[in-house]
Structure 1
């Protein structure tokens, strides 16, 4: 069911936020414009979207295992709640990005 969303992973060229956190901590509050070519806004959002899709796929698989009697109820509930939290986070990011875009379009030039 979730396989139709796999094209979102094409936005991401790297995985994780480790290099972003490390580069941010090394500047120690100075405003430098050192840009990591592997990490940009699109790749971070793509990585988050990919993680959300993977969480949804995992929850779906656990649900099917629960229906078949192969998985414990607690495992199914944990997977579904994790997927729900991931989806709510993705929706919140989408809403913030859309609101920011709308604010930019309202600005006079």
Structure 2
């Protein structure tokens, strides 16, 4: 579930446990693995599902079928998912701009 994944920070990316200096980034899927595009697509779908679940929980609370704690948990989870999606989008845009500035 995307809500259980903390947003990536610069310190986390520098950590040896996440990315090693000798590791290379492989965009294509290794045998039986998942591609980068599929990973982004799944992350986006999980974010959308999380936002929809928070909205549904809020509507249930307005109807009297959900308590305040459920609403707060759902909204906080949706907020974390949205912040992660925005951070990923910003990194992709920055990478594209960096590549576009390269001299050919």
* 1:61 and 2:89 matched: no
- Specify which structure has the bigger relative contact order, considering alpha-carbon pairs within 8 angstroms and separated by 6 or more residues: 2
Q: Provide Cα deviations, 1:1-57, integer angstroms capped at 9, x if missing partner.
A: xxxxxxxxxxxxxxxxxxxxxxxxxxxx777x7813551111000000000000001
Distance 2:59 2:41 in 1: 27
Instruction: List alignment gaps of at least 5 residues for structure 1.
Output: 1-28
Tell me which of 79, 89, 95 is aligned to 1:100: 95
- Whether 2:67 is the aligned partner of 1:78: answer no
**C-alpha separation in 1, matches of 2:44 and 2:23:** 30
Q: Distance in 2 between matches of 1:77 and 1:30?
A: 40
TM-score with structure 1 setting the length = 0.68
Q: TM-score, normalised by structure 2?
A: 0.71
C-alpha distance in 2, partners of 1:105/1:41? 20
Larger helix proportion of the pair: 1
RMSD: 2.0
**Which 5+ residue runs of structure 2 have no aligned equivalent?**
1-21
CA distance 1:103–1:49, shift in 2 (3 Å): same
Large movers: runs of 4+ above 3 Å:
none
Deviation of the 1:100 alpha carbon = 0.3
